[in-house]
Amino acid sequence: MEIADLIRPDAIVPSLRVTSKKQALQELSRRAAELTGVAERRIFEVLVERERLGTTGVGNGIAIPHGKLSELNRLQALFARLETPIDFDSIDEQPVDLICVLLAPEGAGADHLKALARVSRLLRDRSVCEKIRGSESADAIYAIITESAASHAA
């Protein structure tokens, strides 16, 4: 499974304006609803439920909120670069400015974990994150994510 299989160019938000974790999850749920056809409220509830189990702020300015939805038939991702970093209750207590939402079908156990690992591995690369942070357009961010992911496919 490649990152390009999870995320489409129209699932990149190059400059998201939010001021809180809740607002970020709401806005990303709205955009994910447009992409998936699943109700915005349903996506938001799944993401918030997952956050209650423990933060998805993994450190170094990165968060990977995720959840499973019975309405989906394939894994889908949405990526956002925030205009201004926000508090996301991250494990390193640093603000977050890069968010990758990962949504999976209910029965996607191993594939869901593989996708999380793939996204995590990609975003652990500081040079990839710096390139993303320096990009202004969705096309540029999509190119960085998909090209870098191909070289991180170990």
Catalytically annotated residues: 66
The residue among 97, 44, 42, 47 whose CA lies nearest residue 71 is 42
DSSP 10: G
Helices (H) and strands (E) in the chain, counts: 6, 6
Q: What is the CA radius of gyration of the chain?
A: 14
Helix axes 21-36, 40-53, angle to 10 degrees: 130
